[in-house]
Chain A
């Protein structure tokens, strides 16, 4: 197998202006980085947005991307965080096809991962789970034994622990 390409957590604090997202996305695509997940949300005040990006690529490319992003006129800060430095959460909604025969098993899995049932019908169930991306991966993995009709994940959001800035 080929060498595992490392995934990086980046947090970008950006003025809420048209084009900001496109400019940031371009700095990644230009350097061959694959964005795994991207979450854009309002910052603490309305004029700013917080972007959390998980992307795969080599260290040298990453350093370039951080510097190129930091240089964008709209960007106030662009930082990489190791997994240890942050709390990371993700939310997933999983729609699983279940008949009454298998519902119990699926609910058991849900219970193990502390997932909530947010919709239930005769042929399907929608589960909501939050936690680390790895935990969600594990849950989805187990559920894939049944028929997953749809899967929607928010992508990872991170926040630096303690006094550190994200």
Chain B
């Protein structure tokens, strides 16, 4: 085996582990994206377009959702970005447990491989990303692969959480107090606390599913004392907080980008950290019932959690105010990462506002299970999160590769994806209001939405074009880009000021020394 290959496969260095996460999660993104294209093509016209087998459509939908959330966004944010940035930002040589870190990334790869097996095994899983029983326990599809994919990725996340919390608690450079952490580091701390509390709940739920289907237990079998609603509650008890596991790091990295390119201190740092992140952490576990307004739960639960859901918009709003405040009177430089960061703010604003009607139980009775819901969560999480990840890859590109990407190609990719996303998800919400149910593989009963469906398919191709441009730019930049200086952006944060591009093993040629005035956002007074 080549020494270079071995040094990657056996690596325990956080930067390389991070890049392994990035490669795996981009692979998941690409294939899940192909599934999305297949679904979009299938939906272009009423009647069968690509397949006349609804089960086939279900497999695409399963892979698209599961791979995008569990295989792409969570690992790209809490795997790739956390690994690459956190030790560098806190001035540590590596994470607390480097081998455990390598185990996390390889468990994640095991999960990805298992998910990819969907395309080669007989009876692939077809249970969406939610895996609801009784469908999941009765289908011919291989629900075991669904459960194990979740378990492998979940276990990987738990090990990551243990590792990163210990790292941030004990390995900060001397002089780095809690109020001097990068916002991104804070977002990772809170995201991992959420993971440690809630992932085990999902793990248990899918384990019960596995036992029910294959070992004959009766957790979700009403004929034998079980109850399917137990699954739905456990699932959403995890999966609502999971949206914050995605949201917080993607806003965290957006803060870094915005502060750097607006040359501004983070607006109201303590409000963002304690009010925003703290508030989300406190409320994250008390809102899951808003996914179950039509499931027949008692009113005290539905109304109670409607109130908590509306309440949690407050800390989320604080996070938004912090971002916009950081822009305020900054001297803004519109480089590609910054365009993506501004895109995040745009998409997140629309997505957050469309969450509010969903939160009102009486309105949601009509909206639930229509296209309005995927419209909402694609804006708020899928698109905003993906833009943050793309922006982060551009932002860190010189640091990771030691080379620069091509600026105007980057901007072209941005504008194509930006326009494409709006062409898909704005019509999606409109079709939802017109009554189009989600998860359908055909819509003969809803001819009024055919025009919107075609617009969405067109938009999907625009996104595809934008993504290809972006990918090409990354590959070109990594191979042939101009050499990058240590700190091309003029940032004040340690990963740029104290480490060369790319950083060597051990990260810092000299241990970073932080004066009392040091801050990752020390850009001086506002202009």
Same complex: no
A interface residues (Cβ-Cβ under 8 A, vs B): none
